[in-house]
Amino acid sequence: MVFRTFPPSRDLEQCHLMSLAIQHLLDIRVVEPVLRKEYGLGLYSNLFVVLKSSGGWRAILDLKRLNSYLVYRHFKMSSLRSILLVIQRSDFMASVDLTEAYLHIPILPAHHRFLRFSHKGHHLQYRALLFGLASASRTFTKVLAALVVHLRSHPVRLQCYLDDMLVQAQSRTQAIHDLNLTIQMLQSLGFFVNFPKSHLSSMTKILHLGTVIDSVAGLVRLFSEHLTNLQALTCHIRASQSVSILTLARLLGKMVLCIGIVPWVRLHSQTLQWLLIPYQCHRMNNLRLIGLPLDLCWSLRGWISLAL
């Protein structure tokens, strides 16, 4: 596919952030230069940067066009609901988070040409699995499943939701032992553990997947920060006459995280889902502003309730 050039960004700050993000990807060998003879060949996508929840910026490749050619293959993965079902009363829990987990999985060299982008005249391509690829979640889940099966044979009670792992045991000593074994196994396979975001002190109350799980009381609730962010975004949207598709998609993502905790989540998010369906076309600009129908504003009222 012939590469089309775009005018350089006029936002100097964004341009600088983009350069830093790309340099980081080069430093960890996630992207590589394209051979000069292949300039303009393959599939080029737009690259942009987004603010990470932990601070800093992450480069994201817009793969809508590529994803439109991929065949979706069904797969089963854990959910918050399935994880909660296997937590036993008075379990001691610890969690492990991986740093840039997808980027640990290499991609077949022949497929690098489909993951190209250009910045300041430099042509680059991804050589590792990246966020935004339609098949990424399935691929990563399948790869990690082999490790999970091995750890459970020891046996370690381990539940995974993509790169978030929850270790459970009926005693603190056993939980610490299983946690150390899990970290040791991950590091031996080349994974980098995000220690600041992991909870390494085995406790009966833990923050996991945006929720606070209390195994002694047998209760689970939304983490206060997640709830505050969700309600603030909801208020912002309801007060606006038009909102970008990206902002609405971000709100829907926060709603989905509440499934299994907040009653009737699927029902209360249905109006927003139906609104976004026509805008899933790969040629659609995520920054496009759309007007808010009255039924959406009405359905969002319940999300502002303190009862959540």
Burial class (CB in 10 A: 0-12, 13-18, 19+), 91: buried
Write out 32-50 in H/E/C secondary structure. EECCHHHCCCCCECCEEEE
For 230-239, write each residue's pLDDT tens digit: 899 999 999 8
Question: In sequence order, which residues have a C-beta less than 8 Å from that of residue 74 and are 6 or more positions away?
Answer: none
- pLDDT one-digit tens code per residue, 78-108: 888 889 999 999 999 999 999 888 999 999 9
Q: Where are the domains positioned within the chain?
A: 12-71+104-126, 80-102+134-213, 223-305
How deeply is 192 buried, as exposed, middle or buried, from its count of CB atoms within 10 A (0-12, 13-18, 19+)? Answer: middle
**For the ranges 21-25, 92-96, 197-201, 304-308, which has the lowest average pLDDT?**
304-308
More confident residue, 306 or 36: 36
Mean pLDDT of the region 151-168: 94
3-class state of residue 122 by DSSP: strand
Residue 119: other Cβ atoms inside 10 A = 16
Q: Determine the pLDDT at residue 53.
A: 67
pTM metric for this prediction:
0.79
The residue ranking higher by pLDDT, 301 or 215, is 215
Contact 112, 129 (CB under 8 A): no
Instruction: Reply yes or no on whether the pLDDT at 287 is more than 80.
Output: no
Coil, helix or strand for 206? strand
Residue 96 · residue 183 · CB < 8 Å: yes
Predicted local distance difference test score (pLDDT) of residue 12 = 74
Chain mean pLDDT for the chain = 88
pLDDT at 3: 46
**Per-residue pLDDT averaged across 207-222, rounded?**
90
pLDDT surpassing 70 at residue 54? no
Helix, strand, coil fractions of the chain, as percent rounded to 5: 40, 20, 35
Task: Look up tokens 């029902």; give the residue.
Answer: 267
| Burial tier of 260 (Cβ tally within 10 Å: 0-12, 13-18, 19+) | middle
In angstroms, the CA 207 to CA 166 distance is 10
Residues 6+ apart with CB under 8 A from 282: 64, 65, 67, 68
Classified by CATH at the fold level, domain 12-71+104-126 comes out as HIV Type 1 Reverse Transcriptase; Chain A, domain 1 (3.10.10)
More confident call, 13 vs 211: 211
Query: CATH homologous superfamily of domain 80-102+134-213?
Result: Reverse transcriptase/Diguanylate cyclase domain (3.30.70.270)
DSSP annotation of 157 reads E
Burial class (CB in 10 A: 0-12, 13-18, 19+), 58: middle
Rounded to 10 degrees, the C-alpha dihedral 131/135/137/139 comes to -110
